[in-house]
Homo-oligomer: A and B are copies of this chain.
Amino acid sequence: MIDPLLLNLEQHDVLTDEERDILRRIVVREKRFSAGEDLVVEGSRPGQSSLLVEGFAARYKLTAEGMRQITALHVAGDFVDLHAFLLKTMDHGVVALSPCRVGLSDHADLKIVTERYPHLTRMLWLDTLIHGSIHRAWIVAMGRRSKASHLAHILCELYVRLGVVRRTDSWSFHLPLSQSEMADVLGLSLVHMNRVIQTLRRESLISWNNQTITILDWERLKEVAEFDPTYLSLSAEPR
């Protein structure tokens, strides 16, 4: 169950056999969700954290007028609410964007990890820090890039993150988001989202059919996105 998590963490530093073993023991109780279901409800105080084993999920907040903003996208190998271990109260919801398989980890066990396994603790901390980096990259894209560039950036990021957990197929990957859901990622209206997608298609940068993204020109897409993967901390080094 923790295979994608290992692919994820070992991208940043080596893990010992013991550490892999501990992860295997603390991630238990598989749960399944169907698309649209909430993995975690805003305002709740979960006693465990959810490791996404398969599928796509999103963190989101709703505004008073009922608009939704997605603040993060999660793929296999992501600990979607590890931060709840210390934040305690969820300030946002987490929704399944596709059928999802999830492994649960009790906060009590995570606490034991922090008391006995400092390096593993740092690796989990790192995981939350990388999601913080991703937030910052999104803020820059939202504030200072064109919408086409913002979309390109998100697709570059997803391509790289999915590659780490072996969910890409040469230049394409499965992306089970509707245009309306993607609009909630970029903070756009559905109509305008559609038009932005079409500009990337018209430029032959991507194709997007049947929930499949194909990157037609990686170099130009990266250029449009100003994508620099440094923020994903993909190098393995002592942490």
Contacts and interface: CB of A to CB of B under 8 A. Distances in A.
A131 interface: yes
Interface residues of A, number: 50
Nearest to A237: B88
B143 A69 contact: yes
A23 interface: no
A154 to B, nearest CB: 12
A106 interface: no
Contact of A92 (B87, B136, B144, B235): B136
Contacts of A177: none
Given A128-B128, A129-B128, A138 B140 contact: no
Interface stretch (A29-37, A119-127, A158-166): A119-127
Contacts of A87: 126, 129-130, 133, 233
Given A86-B126, A86-B239, A128-B125, A136 B226 contact: no
B89 A230 contact: yes
Contacts of A59: 136
Interface string A21-54: 0000000000000000000000100000000000
A71 B187 contact: no
Query: Which of A43, A136, A137 gathers the greatest number of chain B CB atoms within 10 Å?
Result: A136
A144 B69 contact: yes
A129 B129 CA distance: 8
A142 interface: yes
Nearest to A231: B91
Given A59-B136, A89-B230, A226-B64, A186 B143 contact: yes
B88 A233 contact: yes
28 contacts: A43-B230, A61-B137, A61-B140, A63-B144, A64-B226, A68-B144, A69-B139, A69-B144, A71-B136, A71-B140, A83-B132, A86-B239, A87-B126, A88-B233, A88-B235, A88-B239, A89-B233, A91-B136, A91-B137, A91-B231, A111-B122, A114-B121, A118-B121, A128-B128, A128-B132, A132-B135, A135-B136, A138-B139
Given A86-B125, A86-B129, A125-B128, 6 more contacts: A61-B140, A69-B139, A69-B140, A71-B139, A87-B129, A115-B118
